[in-house]
Amino acid sequence: MALSIATWNINSVRLRMPLVAHFLEKWQPDILCLQETKCPNEQFPSGPLKRLGYEHIEMHGQKGYHGVATISRLPLHELTDRRDYCGVGDARHLSVVFEVGGKKIRLHNFYVPAGGDEPDRVINPKFGHKLDFVDEMRLLHAEAEAGISSILVGDLNIAPLEHDVWSHKQLLKIVSHTPIETEGLTSVMTGGAWIDLMRQHTPPPEKLYTWWSYRAKDWSAADRGRRLDHIWSSADLARQLARVDILREARGWDRPSDHVPVIAHFDF
């Protein structure tokens, strides 16, 4: 049995609903996790998604900022969890449980704070918030629930490896690739027994990017990307991974997000 799960920072789901519809019609993942939806739950465009066959929708939204949503063709169990990381009321986490091939899976959908521009928590509270958020994620373990496997996806806003950015040396002091961030995210992964699925079949030194800045006049030619979007899993599911696709072409669509969809394909 095949299963496909996609993650995509959409940067306003209502603004880019035509792109979401196009993606779902062409690639048809079983589940799509969106980040930075930027709308309260009551304004989420559930109708068009249900008409496309995605009848199971869970969301954690707020007006104008942040927000995550998980839309699925598979039924979702009554085990949805929305955690308020750092206790500031931001809608940045959502987890659901679904079943495939007789296996229960908890799927975490994260939107980690970007952290501002200055990598110094003393003068930049946004960076301190990001570090605290990542530190709190250390409590999340891939094998926390007996009988339930785990997948973690989302815009984690950190490119942890040297080959996850266009220039390791030039970005060491740039938010998203500073040592304190990369070490923090690596600690979350290793301490929680998570497997980095995107690097399972594409190990370094091959470059992997999922984000290209709006500031570049020609993003494709410059190709100064970063891998900010991630898919992790518990070890048992890593063995079922068939491939991971990064949909680079989506960055060139009309009025695109600066992130592109990433799709993990499993074979049970």
Residue-wise pLDDT for 178-200, tens only, equals 999 999 999 999 999 999 999 99
Residue-by-residue DSSP string for 135-168: HHGGG--TT-STTEEEEEEEE-----SGGGBS-H
Mean pLDDT of the chain, nearest integer: 97
Nearest to 79 by CA among 60, 104, 96: 96
Q: b/e for 160-193, b at 16 or more Cβ within 10 A?
A: bbbbbbbeeeebeeebbbbeebbebbeebbeebe
Residue 78 is predicted with a pLDDT of 86
Residue-wise pLDDT for 219-261, tens only, equals 999 999 999 999 999 999 999 999 999 999 999 999 999 999 9
Tally of CA atoms within 13 A in the half-sphere of 176 that contains its CB: 26
CA–CA dist 128, 12 (Å, integer):
25
Q: Report residue 95 CA to chain centroid gap.
A: 12
Instruction: Pinpoint the alpha helices (H) of 91-141.
Output: 125-136
CATH number for the domain spanning 21: value is 3.60.10.10
**Domain range spanning residue 139?**
2-267
Residue-wise pLDDT for 51-69, tens only, equals 999 999 999 999 999 999 9
Judged by DSSP in three states, 43 sits in: helix
pTM, entire model: 0.98
In the chain, the number of structural domains is 1
Nearest to 237 by CA among 109, 148, 139, 138: 148
In this predicted structure, the answer to whether residue 79 has a pLDDT above a threshold of 90 is: no
Amino acid sitting at position 186? T
Residue 218 is predicted with a pLDDT of 96
